[in-house]
Structure 1
């Protein structure tokens, strides 16, 4: 079954260009292209959309507010695809439920992999975005923590789990990790589930920050 996508961007050249790019991949179906966040939310309210590609700065409703409404009111997974890497935009978008945050200068294969990863329920952030999120995004589940003295307690993890964490910290998708470590994507997902359980974290974004900074709060 194809992944159903909507593209929201106020630049018509970007909208149509992205539609053409995604059309070259047989696993995607672009249901619509719209010029602002409000139109994206309205479309997703009345149609089954798997992933919404959202620019940040758009008229009528920006990508951050659209992300909030999509996360609250629909089953659509928001993926920010923008030229803006401002700290405030990133933190607000992630806090409101964005499943990914990529810059438009990524190549088509990276964007394809990001859509697949988000569709499969995981988060995608590239290195420049992770660097800006390090100071305070990660939040542990109540009563749980996996760090001691400000450093990762490596005894909690298998060597393979540490390998997976390191690659998540570099911003790699599950597919890219599977290729690097010669594992199936299912095995990578199982390792991530184990890491989340051991750390008390909620998603891969937090794993990346935890691995990079040794901090969970």
Structure 2
């Protein structure tokens, strides 16, 4: 059973979301709160598997709450909001959020994301991830420079990660580096093995933020 806390200042949202999520056999909403500070306090006092945080809330916003929850508890954070502002996305990910979804998703999509986050996997909606890539390409919030310890990787592995972070396919990366698709795939397997990550989206996040996640 995945124990969920919902933090949102809209009672209509929290009430409806709780009813929907509780209809899934492996999900239990154990509490709803109205702001980030209440979410932090609850996670510190009770075992919570995943907290769903809105971004804009009174007293404490979701970005600040994310940082405190990640630093002070074992709870995994998933941002569930209507806001896709670039600054919110980058700060939430840098503060340790493992998921970032918009509320307009179907319930099954949200539940699938919750299950993945509970398993310590990163889940980022395609539209959100596109914004992260755009930020890196324009240098608005996250730079093109790798935020990782370069000594852990060969120059070619860093080139591969840079290509992934730019949203390039294996074929596109291969053309850029003048190597085959299969060679790119082999490098990706090596990178996943070195970092303990599960898939290329996590590689991109790692390259952008320098964080693998707990």
In structure 2, do the counterparts of structure 1 residues 93 and 203 end up closer, same or farther at CA, with 3 Å as the change threshold? Answer: farther
What SS does the corresponding residue of 1:139 show, helix, strand or coil?
A: coil
Larger radius of gyration: 2
Q: Which residue of 1 aligns with 2:6?
A: 7
Q: 4+ residue runs of structure 1 moved beyond 3 angstroms? A: 136-142, 147-154, 200-206, 214-217
Query: Does structure 2 conserve the Cα–Cα contact (< 8 Å) formed by 1:141 and 1:202?
Result: no
Structure 1, gaps ≥5 residues long: 163-190
In structure 2, do the counterparts of structure 1 residues 209 and 36 end up closer, same or farther at CA, with 3 Å as the change threshold? Answer: closer
What SS does the corresponding residue of 2:37 show, helix, strand or coil?
A: helix
Q: Which residue of 1 aligns with 2:192?
A: 196
In structure 2, do the counterparts of structure 1 residues 132 and 83 end up closer, same or farther at CA, with 3 Å as the change threshold? Answer: same
Question: Displacement of 1:157 after TM fit?
Answer: 2.2
- TM-score of the pair, normalised by structure 2: 0.74
- TM-score of the pair, normalised by structure 1: 0.73
Structure 2, gaps ≥5 residues long: 137-141, 164-172, 175-180
Q: Deviations over 1:28-78 (max 9, x none)?
A: 111100000000110000000000000000000000000000000000001
1:139 corresponds to 2:147: yes
What SS does the corresponding residue of 2:16 show, helix, strand or coil?
A: helix
Query: Does structure 1 conserve the Cα–Cα contact (< 8 Å) formed by 2:35 and 2:60?
Result: yes
Question: Displacement of 1:206 after TM fit?
Answer: 4.0
Q: Which residue of 2 aligns with 1:128?
A: 127
Query: Does structure 1 conserve the Cα–Cα contact (< 8 Å) formed by 2:122 and 2:202?
Result: no
Q: Number of paired residues?
A: 180
In structure 2, do the counterparts of structure 1 residues 195 and 30 end up closer, same or farther at CA, with 3 Å as the change threshold? Answer: same
* RMSD, aligned CA: 2.8
Q: Which residue of 1 aligns with 2:55?
A: 56
Query: Does structure 1 conserve the Cα–Cα contact (< 8 Å) formed by 2:3 and 2:30?
Result: yes
Alignment of 1:72-91 (within 5 A): 72-91=71-90
What SS does the corresponding residue of 1:157 show, helix, strand or coil?
A: helix
Question: Displacement of 1:195 after TM fit?
Answer: 4.4
Task: Provide the rounded CA distance (Å) in 1 between the counterparts of 2:39 and 2:159.
Answer: 44
Task: Provide the rounded CA distance (Å) in 2 between the counterparts of 1:18 and 1:70.
Answer: 21
Query: Does structure 2 conserve the Cα–Cα contact (< 8 Å) formed by 1:7 and 1:33?
Result: yes
Alignment of 1:1-217 (within 5 A): 2-134=1-133, 135=136, 136=142, 139-143=147-151, 144-145=153-154, 146-148=157-159, 151=163, 152=173, 154=181, 155-158=183-186, 195-197=191-193, 200=195, 204=199, 205-208=201-204
Q: Which residue of 2 aligns with 1:175?
A: none
In structure 2, do the counterparts of structure 1 residues 86 and 101 end up closer, same or farther at CA, with 3 Å as the change threshold? Answer: same
Task: Provide the rounded CA distance (Å) in 2 between the counterparts of 1:8 and 1:25.
Answer: 19
What SS does the corresponding residue of 2:83 show, helix, strand or coil?
A: coil
Question: Displacement of 1:141 after TM fit?
Answer: 3.8
Of 27-36 and 200-209, the range deviating more from structure 2? 200-209
